[in-house]
A and B are shown apart, each in its own frame.
Chain A
Amino acid sequence: MNFLSKKSYIAWYFVIPVVFIHLFVIGIPSILSLALCLTDWSGLGKINYVGFENFIELFDDRYFKKAIFHNILWTIIFLTVPVCIALMCAYLLTGIKRGQMFYRLAFFFPYMLASVVNCQIWKYLFHPIHGLGGFFESIGIEALASSPFTTKETSLYAAAFVDGWHFWGFLVVIYLTGMYQVDNHLYEAADIEGASKFQKFRYITLPMIRPIFIFSLMIIIIWSVPVFDYVYILTGGGPAYSSEVVANYLYTHAFVRFNVGYASAVGTLMFIYVIFIVGIFGLLRKLGWEI
């Protein structure tokens, strides 16, 4: 029994409650969900084993393919637009001595608001009667009279814009934290060498915050897989699946169409994809990348 009181086990005792909670709330439902992907369960009643039928159907499902394409597009948008803006703003903020806290708060504020609040604000803003749509119509600009959330060509980008607007402040804060940890002597040496502001950013700041930067890219790639709330509230995946994403597709099948088996197959593919991404980052770390 002595081994139980060894110091190295003490940390384990403290994490046991969390492990139990995770096991019951996440572990067991996840395993059950993986099992359900091989059934035609409706969410109630009998469960029939159907083998890989759900997957065969999924690979032939044009709306599922569309949802995957939208998730990829979403990931690319988030890996570029908010990241670039956040990097630039964080870097500019390091040069502001007075009133910096105001900017930090202002940028971070949308991140603190609930997604449903953010969405309602933007929905009302672009409302065709009460919002900007009504205004543009009244001054004769018909092209801007419709809400971008209900226009097929713009709905995905509009939802991504609102989510990005709420998210980029978070990136500013983590990039800023990284930038404050950079040794000031490096900048002083660069100043002596006559480096420009851009050169200091390119050759000092960016390499020095690389672990945080790569981490931010990793979480963006992973978080772009289950993206749901902004799409669900703003567009519902429509119109005509023009903003459909995989998580919303899963939700519709599980809770609206009573296709829990099929939805579980979608969930399984999402799970495999996330494991793959995490695996790649783990591999890169093992190969000595500073991430």
Chain B
Amino acid sequence: MIKTIISFVSAIILSVSFSAFSKTKVTWSMESNADRDPIFLEKLQNAYNSAQDKYELEIQFEPNETRIESLRTSMLAGMGPDIVETPGPSYVKEYQEAGMLENLDSYAAEFGWKDKLIPWAYSSGVFDGSLYAIPKTHESMVMLYNKTLFEENGWKVPTTLEELEDVAGKIKAKGMDVYTYGSSGWQPTHEHLVGIYLNNYAGPQAVYEAITGEREWTDPVFIEALELLKRHMVDEGWWSGSLENYYAIGWDDFHAQFATRGAAMMTIGTWTFQATSLGIGQSGDEWGWAPLPSLSSNSGGPNFMIAIGTTMSVNAAAKNKDGAIDVLNWIMSNKDVVIDIASDFQFGEFVVPLLLDDSDIPSTISPQVTSYLNEYARITGEGNYGYCTWTFWPAEPGVHIWKDMEVVWAGDISVEDFMYDHQKMWDKARKKNETLPVPLRD
């Protein structure tokens, strides 16, 4: 009897060991986040590993502040993870130019990836005519507001500049900040606001023309847009009460301000949905969202700025290229997995741009997020989409647009001079073939 038990246990151990050792490892260096990591481990890594016997996915988490640099160093050394995660297309471009990423054209054709992804998102990974990256998440900018507060005061959610300035006056009269937001901990936050004003004042068509070189960034319509932003930011102190406070406030602060009625509204990306739901949910107030108001007649009505949060590529020097491709294909072939993970983040993260139907949206996510997803699909489907700077601006102008905006707000240079410098950087980027893919407009 004892012999039988020993033989049985040994057989189990051997078979388990054999299956573990027979799998080849696929590595993925992913941006770390304390709340999100366990979900990615359970629902992505472990789920993938259980779903097949060939590969063993291993996700290595690291904060983006250090990950971006360590990834670059390891890639330069001909090493790096099998799946390369970058913070956006400008990074993909750098790696692609250096020949460090695998051309995915043949896999995309074999597995039909183009038919699974939203067309503009697919094209955001196409460089020099070939696919090099798949978006890991896509996002947009929205305006959040404290719905309970608005209802109590009879305020109307603004859709135009006039309405926005009217409600801003009423909010300030109540001793609150118009918007809460800040750049402490993430200086590029400025580009969120710049993008909003460019797209909602000058309009997406004008921005598209400037990105594609048909129009100069020194065009008066862009200068007026940034003059308006400067007035709202510096003179009116709409964001967190003053420019200095905006610089001093970080992610936790502005969520706390929003939840405790320190401010009535917030301009932010859709990545906030989970944090907002949790934060304001504890205060007893209800939150709402709205597309960003049209700031002039140029903007052509409400639009959603489109953006890629992070991207997934395959390392050209990957030890397990087939495994990396298999992981990407598994993600794109398992809509349920993507929706399940995205739902855990209230569609604020891991929103792989797969083509979804209304029926795909689970009932577990908040009604605000459901309505956003429907509106986003409807409005962008009609072609009313704008362009986020971190997805469509090449590296150097992409940094200039937020880093040097502080100089404009400080009054050290004029908006005209700023845009003149900006145009020069675009000219340089164009000359060096550093521009990024941009979806064609209808």
Given known contacts A44-B75, A44-B98, is B412 in contact with A240 (CB within 8 Å)? Answer: yes
- B interface SS class: helix
A-B Cβ contacts below 8 A, count: 86
**Complex contact A42–B94 (CB within 8 A):** yes
Distance in angstroms between the alpha carbons of A46 and B257 in the assembled complex:
47
Contact of B187 among A43, A236, A258 (CB under 8 A): A236
14 pairs, A vs B, C-beta closer than 8 Å: A44-B72, A44-B100, A129-B249, A129-B253, A129-B262, A133-B245, A150-B245, A150-B247, A150-B248, A238-B187, A239-B406, A241-B406, A252-B403, A257-B399
Residue of B nearest to A241 (CB): B407
Of residues 128 through 166 on chain A, the ones whose CB sits less than 8 Å from some CB of chain B are 128-130, 133, 146-147, 149-152
Distance in angstroms between the alpha carbons of A123 and B248 in the assembled complex:
9
Chain B residues with CB under 8 Å of chain A are 68-69, 72, 75-76, 94-95, 97-100, 184, 187, 240-245, 247-249, 253, 256-257, 262, 395-396, 399, 403, 406-407, 409-410, 412
Residue of A nearest to B100 (CB): A44
**Complex contact A45–B248 (CB within 8 A):** no
Distance in angstroms between the alpha carbons of A240 and B399 in the assembled complex:
13
**Complex contact A146–B248 (CB within 8 A):** yes
Q: Which residues of chain B are within 8 angstroms of A238 by Cβ–Cβ distance? A: 187, 247, 406
Contact of B69 among A42, A147, A255, A259 (CB under 8 A): A255
Distance in angstroms between the alpha carbons of A241 and B97 in the assembled complex:
31
**Complex contact B396–A257 (CB within 8 A):** yes
Q: Is A11 an interface residue (CB 8 A)?
A: no
Chain A, interface size category, equals 20 to 34
Contact of B244 among A128, A252, A259 (CB under 8 A): A128
Shortest C-beta distance, B427 to chain A (Å), equals 15
Shortest C-beta distance, A20 to chain B (Å), equals 20
Shortest C-beta distance, A229 to chain B (Å), equals 14
Shortest C-beta distance, B97 to chain A (Å), equals 5
Q: Which residues of chain A are within 8 angstroms of B240 by Cβ–Cβ distance? A: 128
Shortest C-beta distance, B227 to chain A (Å), equals 17
Q: Which residues of chain B are within 8 angstroms of A130 by Cβ–Cβ distance? A: 253
**Complex contact B94–A44 (CB within 8 A):** yes
Distance in angstroms between the alpha carbons of A257 and B398 in the assembled complex:
8
Given known contacts A45-B98, A258-B396, is B410 in contact with A240 (CB within 8 Å)? Answer: yes
